[in-house]
Amino acid sequence: MKELATLLLKSLSSTPDNVVVEEKIEQNKIYLSTKVDAADKGKVIGKDGCIIKAIRTVLTAAASNQNKKVTLKLED
């Protein structure tokens, strides 16, 4: 999941080197904490949060194939 989230976030970012994704796995749950450059936060969140919701949907679909649940959090 970490690789997929990193790929999606780096493709949206104008400074892909500043994208950091941390992964924590507990039983069948995956917690992803992401940090992006301050200038790219608007691109990642999108209007009314539609882009970040779409990323979460893709990650949820990928995790369901492995019978896992995923949570994506965008850090400040």
Helix (H, G, I), strand (E, B) or coil at 53: helix
Q: Domain holding 40: CATH number?
A: 3.30.300.20
Taking only the tens place, the pLDDT of each residue in 49-73 is: 999 999 999 999 999 999 999 999 9
What's the number of domains the chain is made of? 1
**What is the tens place of the pLDDT at every residue in 4-59?**
999 999 999 999 999 999 999 999 999 999 999 999 999 999 999 999 999 999 99
Which residues form the domain of 66? 2-74
Give the span between the Cα atoms of 62 and 45, in whole angstroms: 20
For the entire predicted model, the pTM comes to 0.91
Q: Supply the angle between the helices 50-64 and 2-12 in degrees, to the nearest 10.
A: 160
